[in-house]
Structure 1
């Protein structure tokens, strides 16, 4: 029987409107700060909207790269330096997570057949700049992209393809993206309120994050990506399952792979978009998994919904919560308002969080779940 390969998160980074590195982001979250603001931006929307946006792309852009590619580079360079890994080694893999990539170029008047619109093109450009010799992989799976990218990297390492994989993800909010969500009447006209009885919908957000997954255990306390699974409810192109059974399936399979039970889970980092149907569905899945007493948070009121970066950003925050013993509250939550009663964390909560469930869901009925575990040397 083949021995199980442990996979560890050995470096992490967040580059967002709130702050420009993971440690500073976590400190800001503990202080209750949010990047979500009201924006009167006629180029993006004819009406005011709330979102977490960069003030100026000029501050982001690296010479010769688009804003999207620059975000990937900012986070990837940081984690590569943190982990001190050999990117030129063919045993080092590279994955990009995004939903829209360089789609903003269309609004600048480029042709629809411009090669820069290809996600594979952007991944290749960034990989070459960083010095990778392995072929980059793109994961674009709606709003579960970040979690699927990490699950993919985990499986690559377990299959013996790589010793370590750099996973980076980013998205920017364009007029096209915002108008799409507005057409669903899914955008709140105020800061969003995940899981709250008076929630009105999402806020969108821009940002990027990266992690390095490795089969080599770092010194000291480490965080292990212990399990991960994906499911699809095939309910509707934009509406989630009404029962939560399919997200529960992903949760159950991730827990089975990690070898944990409901009693082992210390915290849940939920998708928590603050839409009526998503939050109800997640509450049902959490109840089906027997986790209704476990503290749950959503970070959408701090970062907005960052699409292909959301799973990565929220995982990195969870890693820092586990290491620092502080669970970030669900900003905007005041009054329970989901189909099933769940334990929504509404104040900064100290504690021992050795095992974390992270969930995500997206258009097309896709769902993903991962299990993070603290690995302490005896």
Structure 2
């Protein structure tokens, strides 16, 4: 299997409208989570990371008509625009477009505005992005719950490995919609505080919205420092539609298969970017999978305290941050962590620190029992 190189990237989130702004916010310990009130949807307040649409429109007006595109489309288009602005010679006739999302324009169910009904379809979301920039190929849609963004990178690698593509633009995005808020509230999974991954006093997730894009290629760039995806695996634990395996079996198998494909052992992993949603069962399941994989001494963080859970975008955002973590040799703290609250020991990063990072592991898990592991190498 060929390596897949991570090239330019962009993040549109409450922390900023570029990767650089996002990393600066994380370095400074700033969170995009704020107290939200949606009395028409749920009675209690909750924390979430929401992009102010007036700021989004002010940024988008430079590239398109704000009335012709939904909020999610504007977020995704801005992210893609940043990539293409840096790669003016990129041949869009030969570049695959991979769209990763869980719900797409689900907010149109409640308020369609002037948009046609077909705008709800994920395929139509992909086509809007493709048509805006002139991508020739039909977009590939990846929608596999909360591993979607990371799975988009894995799909690009696998297509590259069999010679179907050379370059791909992977785009992820989701919104804090009423549909998603009411859904997680029905599970009693929404935290009324900013989420606290892996902490003893954690009590649920904080939601978030973001869009992100990454250009990837099977061709190694000429730059001095590169990050490559060298192993990936996804295993479904077949446990429950919303509850993860209590033993972490699916995630454990994903990690083992990814390490085997990468031809490295667990003790060579320098950094672990966890899913870390701050729900009782997810964090516990992850701790068991990491312990079974002999990763309990590997420095680990969750970025959910900065972004909230951005659903289909989360694993792509966290892969981008992992890439820059490796290039900068800088570990970022796991925000809001207090006292360890899972049954297996973990090495949670509690303050920013510098360390040589040559191999990193990114994991993600989601509804329906899906699990993902990605192994990155610095070259």
TM-score normalized with structure 2 length = 0.95
The answer as to 2:156 corresponding to 1:153 is yes
Q: Pairwise mapping of residues 81-120 of structure 1 onto structure 2 (< 5 A)?
A: 81-89=85-93, 91-109=94-112, 114-120=117-123
Contact 1:245 1:288 in 2 (8 A): no
CA distance in 2, matches of 1:79, 1:354: 25
SS of structure 1 residue aligned to 2:272 = strand
Question: How many angstroms apart in 1 are the aligned matches of 2:112 and 2:208?
Answer: 23
Which segment drifts farther, 301-310 or 60-69? Answer: 60-69
SS of corresponding position for 1:144: helix
Give 2:272's match in structure 1, choosing from 268, 273, 283: 268
Q: How far, CA to CA, are the matches of 1:172 and 1:65 in structure 2?
A: 14
8 Å CA contact retained: 1:87, 1:130 = no
Q: CA RMSD in A?
A: 1.6
Pair 1:18 & 2:15 matched? yes
Aligned length: 371
> CA 1:23–1:160 in structure 2 vs 1: closer, same or farther (change >3 Å)?
same
Judged with a 3 Å threshold, the aligned counterparts in structure 2 of structure 1 residues 95 and 311 are, in CA distance, closer, same or farther, namely same
Shift of 1:336: 0.8
CA–CA distance in structure 2, aligned partners of residues 185 and 77 of structure 1: 38
Structure 2 residue 285 is the aligned partner of structure 1 residue 281: yes
CA distance in 2, matches of 1:81, 1:155: 27
Q: Matches of 1:226 and 1:82 in 2, distance apart? A: 25
The Cα shift of 1:5 comes to 2.4
Shift of residue 112 of structure 1?
12
Looking at structure 2, the residues matched to 6 and 366 of structure 1 have their Cα atoms a distance apart, in angstroms, of 23
Question: 1:354: which partner in 2?
Answer: 358
Q: Which ranges of structure 2 fall in alignment gaps of 5 or more residues?
A: none
Q: Do the aligned residues in 1 keep the contact of 2:42 with 2:185 (CA within 8 Å)? A: no
Correspondence for 1:56 among 43, 53, 62: 53
Contact persistence 1:142–1:363 (CA under 8 A): yes
CA deviations over 1:261-288 (Å, ceiling 9, x no partner): 1121000000000000000000000011
Specify the alignment match of 2:34 in structure 1: 37
The answer to whether the 8 A contact 1:229-1:370 is kept is yes
* 2:167 paired residue number: 164
* Structure 1: gaps spanning 5 or more residues: none
Matching of residues 133-212 of structure 1 within 5 Å = 133-212=136-215
Confirm whether residue 80 of structure 1 aligns to residue 84 of structure 2: yes
Deviation at 1:228, TM superposition (A): 0.7
